[in-house]
Structure 1
Amino acid sequence: MTIDVSVERVIPLPPEQVAEYAMDWRPDAEWTQGIRTAELTREADAGGFGVDAEITRTAFFLGRRIDYVLRVAAYEPPHLLDMISVAGPMPMHVTYAFEPDARGTCARIRVRGGGGGFYRLASPLLARQVRSSLRKDLRDLEQRLIAR
């Protein structure tokens, strides 16, 4: 069984401002649930952050330490950041999308994944926990941005 969880929140700021912060890997631990560290471990072919760059994250989820690497598959600021895991305990696909809204920005995060062992057995619990974490992520993202 796999998970496919998507959440959205309207943030009362322009998409460029929301995306600039959310698409930057450096503050990941400030607003993303469970993330303890995030490090650019491979630059994009053109240098810096972009398509084919890799971010290595250390997280704690359901009481377990998870180390994984996300490769940037699409990078279209301020609208889209799409990343696919290339190392970690299970396949994962993470998409951040930002669209203009009459009230500011509609921010969306979608996580798809699956795997064997513990993650397969725990998929119903995992999906609920991911949804809860993503909702908190978007709430914290908004709070961080408003406070700036």
Structure 2
Amino acid sequence: MKVDVRTETVIAVPCERVAAYAADPAHAPEWYVNISSVEWQTPPPMGVGSRMAFVARFLGRRLAYTYEISAYEPGRRLVMRTSQGPFPMETTYEWEPYGQTGDHTRMTLRNRGEPIGFAALGARLTAAAMRRAQSRDLARLKALLERQDRTDDSW
């Protein structure tokens, strides 16, 4: 069974700021509840072919995986893929200006993949857990960026 989970939120911060922050792998542990660390495997800056090693906890298990950037349009779209482990995954971020003045951002987070082996048996449970985690992650990102935007205009 394929898993395809898409969530979105509106953040009261301009698109270029949201995209720059969210696309920077160094910030991932700050807004992803389950990600504990990220380490560049290729030299920055971000571009197609860049690789980063992530360590996360999901459904009580430690996961270590490497994402490779497969598409990157700064300020608009980022697509990363991993082919390792029991759950090959593609993660897509999309950002677009939102609102009459364009000073808000609609951010979409999509994770999709097809679990293999034993992981395929729990695909429905995995999809539900991913949906909850993604909603929490986007809420955390929204709160973090809106708070930063109100208190510090230099980030």
> What is the number of equivalent residue pairs in this alignment?
145
Judging by fraction of residues, say which structure has more strand.
Answer: 1
Percent of aligned pairs with the same amino acid: 37
Distance 1:89 1:21 in 2: 29
Question: Does structure 2 retain, via aligned residues, the 8 Å contact 1:74–1:81?
Answer: yes
Which portions of structure 1, spanning 4 or more consecutive aligned residues, are displaced by more than 4 angstroms?
Answer: none
Greater C-alpha radius of gyration: 2
Which among 70, 73, 81 is matched to residue 70 of structure 2?
73
TM-score, normalised via structure 2 length: 0.89
Q: What does 1:118-129 correspond to in 2, within 5 Å?
A: 118-129=118-129
User: Contact 2:89–2:111 (CA<8 Å) still a contact in 1?
Assistant: yes
Is the contact made by 1:69 and 1:88 (CA closer than 8 Å) also made in structure 2? no
Residue equivalent to 2:19: 19
User: In the alignment, what sits opposite 1:88?
Assistant: 85
Alpha-carbon distance in 2 for matches of 1:99, 1:78: 8
Return 5+ residue gaps in structure 2 as ranges. Answer: 149-155
**Deviation by residue 1:42-83 (Cα, 9 ceiling, x = unmatched):** 23xxx5221100011000000011111100011111010100
| Structure-1 separation of matches of 2:107 and 2:45 | 24
Provide Cα deviations, 1:12-71, integer angstroms capped at 9, x if missing partner.
11110100100000011110121011111123xxx5221100011000000011111100
Partner of 1:31: 31
The one-letter code matched in structure 2 to 1:78 is G
* Alignment of 1:64 onto 2:69: no
The CA RMSD over aligned residues, in Å, is 1.2
Residue 132 of structure 1: aligned partner? 132
CA deviation string 1:67-107 (max 9, x = no partner): 11100011111010100114333210000000111061100
- What is the DSSP-based 3-state SS (H/G/I as helix, E as strand, rest coil) of the residue aligned with 2:105? strand
Q: What TM-score does the superposition give when structure 1 sets the normalisation length?
A: 0.93
Is contact 1:69-1:87 (8 Å) kept? yes
